[in-house]
Chains A and B, each alone.
Chain A
Amino acid sequence: MLRSFLFFFLLPSLAFNQTTLMPQVGSERFELHQLYSMSNGDSIRIDQFKWYMSTAQGEIHLVDASEPTSYSFPFSSNAIHLGLDSTANTAGRFDGAYDPLLGMYWSWNTGYIHLKLVGCLVQKGHQFPFEYHIGGYKAPFETFVPIKIPAGTNKILLHLERLFVALPITRTPNIMLPGATAQQIFHAFSTVFE
């Protein structure tokens, strides 16, 4: 009796706190491969967009814009981080969301890409392709930032334009290593969550 009580009432409220991300550009819903005009006059198209989110309880989740079901995930806590901590990076696990098959594992310099963002900027008629593999778990270039989630809601809006206008695409179109610029991009990403 007690067990069924626990199962039906306590367990869902404890564990299955569904978080749903709602990415958008301006007032439009975000989609891959669409060209978006931004307020600064440039346009941007994103072709790959994947990132890790995690909790202090050791849960990790890979969001992949090419699989919109990945926008919803069950985290047991509202204290969510963008990126992975050093424990997750060095766990030596290769299953589930840790699987290098997911294209987020740096095999030659152990660690995970925390944010993969690939696309093309259009500025004054010129195209600027870019490829960002952003990660790092060693000081001073960690990419691991807590995000604020409004109390009483599991739905999180992502104002992606804040990230897109902050990308240093014309100056640094490719990043494949941890570093200061990678960290700045990652911090810009953390400001899109609301």
Chain B
Amino acid sequence: MKTWGFLFIACLGLISLMVLPEDGLFYRPEHWPAPQYAFEKNPLTIDGFSLGRTLFYDPILSTDSTVSCASCHFQYTAFAHVDHPTSHGVASRIGKRNAPGLMNLAWYPNFHWDGGVIDLNGQAINPMTHPDEMGSSLEEILYKLNRDSWYRSQFKKVFGVERIKTSQLLNALAQFTVSLVSANSKYDSVIRKESIFTEQEKKGYKLFQRHCNQCHTEPLFTNFKFEANGIGPHPQLLDSGRALITGKAADAYLFRVPTLRNVEHSFPYMHDGRMGKLKEVIKHYASQSSWVKPISKAFTNPIMLQTDEEQKDLLSFLKTLTDKSFLFNPAYRFRNKN
């Protein structure tokens, strides 16, 4: 009897191991640093994750119910806004910055191109209430959600509350967004020794390690810092970036070093989306003479990507950061309320 019981439990364990990667919930890849997100304050559950997913895809969060989070964050482009230098919100209003891809957010010490937001839960307030994005207010959103019997029952199921409040709304959204882990690209399988690079990718990886890794640091492919990379201020947007947060002149025109994971699909590039092609970005870094000030110290060593060949090699490596199991993970897709 005992043996059977043990076997039963062992089977359950095995089944759960097989099921877990598919439920979409957060996991920490092997050899990755400890995440920053305070999971103990918002313990993840499958129901909480699904509720967050429904909210993420629901235009109910915008003032005229036309725009959802997913309007500017498509899964198939790593939750960036493909082909939009800067995104449009309610009433086709255009924002000032490129909608960044959403992945591996649990490791970020702060958010936005200027790092002004230090908390993933609080981040969602910005797009929901910004007049150029979803243009709503917390009052309006909570009113609409509390009027909706499906949402009331789901929030009750997940958080045990009769009335939905700000903290539960933010916790639910974060349960989804913090779970968007991308760590299964070809690069990752090479690191795990399950696969090997082609000759060209190998050369590209060497170039990457020599010239890019200092800022786009493995395994997250960002050091989370803020730099000025020589593209110069945008002539119309007049966005001074990190200085808006710190009030320090030295931080003028610094923007977040973005992750390079899934970079092949998350175009356009730069904080204002001014570059449409990855080739253009690589060319920019290779053409030191055309850089515009300010330029961070990180760029004082000349970037040696002199030949077209080298640029192609680097590009082929960057494509190994594409994670199809992330871009097409059914757990992240829109589902009907059930």
A105 pairs with B167, CB closer than 8 A: no
| Per-residue B-contact encoding for A83-102, CB less than 8 Å = 1, 0 else | 00000001011110011110
* A179 sits at the interface (CB 8 A): yes
A105 pairs with B125, CB closer than 8 A: yes
Q: Contact partner of A110 among B122, B138, B166, B244, CB < 8 A?
A: B122
Residue of B nearest to A136 (CB): B247
Q: Contact partner of B126 among A92, A94, A101, A108, CB < 8 A?
A: A108
Size of interface on A: residues with Cβ below 8 Å to B: 17
Q: From residue B21, how far is it (CB to closest CB) to chain A in Å?
A: 28
On chain B, the residues within 8 Å of A107 by CB distance are 117, 122, 125-126, 129
Residue of A nearest to B138 (CB): A101
| Per-residue A-contact encoding for B150-181, CB less than 8 Å = 1, 0 else | 00000000000000011100100000000000
Residue of A nearest to B169 (CB): A94
On chain B, the residues within 8 Å of A108 by CB distance are 112, 116-117, 126
A94 pairs with B166, CB closer than 8 A: yes
A109 pairs with B245, CB closer than 8 A: yes
A90-B118, A177-B247 as given contacts; A99 in contact with B167, CB under 8 Å: yes
**How many Å lie between the Cα of A178 and that of B116 in the bound state?**
13
- Contact residues of A between 99 and 118, Cβ < 8 Å to B: 99-101, 105, 107-110
A101-B142, A108-B116 as given contacts; A92 in contact with B121, CB under 8 Å: yes
On chain B, the residues within 8 Å of A95 by CB distance are 165-167
Name which of A93, A94, A178 has the most chain B CB atoms within 10 A of its CB.
A94
**How many Å lie between the Cα of A18 and that of B40 in the bound state?**
33
On chain A, the residues within 8 Å of B38 by CB distance are 92
A110 pairs with B118, CB closer than 8 A: yes
On chain B, the residues within 8 Å of A100 by CB distance are 122, 125, 138, 166
Q: Contact partner of B166 among A90, A99, A177, A179, CB < 8 A?
A: A99
* B310 sits at the interface (CB 8 A): no
A92 pairs with B166, CB closer than 8 A: no
Residue of B nearest to A141 (CB): B247
**How many Å lie between the Cα of A110 and that of B109 in the bound state?**
12
On chain B, the residues within 8 Å of A93 by CB distance are 41, 167
Q: From residue A129, how far is it (CB to closest CB) to chain B in Å?
A: 22
On chain A, the residues within 8 Å of B139 by CB distance are 101
Q: From residue A146, how far is it (CB to closest CB) to chain B in Å?
A: 25
On chain A, the residues within 8 Å of B129 by CB distance are 107
Residue of B nearest to A94 (CB): B167
A110 pairs with B116, CB closer than 8 A: yes
A94 pairs with B116, CB closer than 8 A: no
On chain A, the residues within 8 Å of B165 by CB distance are 95, 99, 101
**How many Å lie between the Cα of A100 and that of B169 in the bound state?**
12
**How many Å lie between the Cα of A61 and that of B38 in the bound state?**
24
On chain B, the residues within 8 Å of A110 by CB distance are 110, 116-119, 122
- Contact residues of A between 27 and 42, Cβ < 8 Å to B: none
**How many Å lie between the Cα of A133 and that of B105 in the bound state?**
30
Q: From residue A102, how far is it (CB to closest CB) to chain B in Å?
A: 9
Q: From residue A88, how far is it (CB to closest CB) to chain B in Å?
A: 13
Residue of B nearest to A90 (CB): B118
Q: From residue A98, how far is it (CB to closest CB) to chain B in Å?
A: 8
> B residues within 8 Å of A by Cβ?
38, 41, 110, 112, 116-119, 121-122, 125-126, 129, 138-139, 142, 165-167, 170, 244-245, 247
Query: Could you show 30 A-B contacts with beta carbons less than 8 Å apart?
Result: A90-B119, A92-B38, A92-B118, A93-B41, A93-B167, A94-B122, A94-B166, A95-B165, A95-B166, A99-B165, A99-B166, A100-B122, A100-B125, A100-B166, A101-B139, A101-B142, A101-B165, A105-B125, A107-B117, A107-B122, A107-B125, A107-B126, A108-B116, A108-B126, A109-B244, A110-B110, A110-B117, A110-B122, A177-B247, A178-B247
Closest A-B pairs by Cβ, 8 of them: A94-B167, A107-B125, A109-B116, A95-B167, A92-B119, A110-B118, A94-B166, A101-B138
Starting from the known contacts A93-B167, A95-B165, A105-B122, 14 additional A-B residue pairs (CB-CB under 8 Å) come to A92-B41, A94-B121, A94-B122, A94-B170, A95-B166, A99-B166, A100-B138, A101-B142, A101-B165, A107-B122, A107-B125, A107-B129, A110-B110, A178-B247
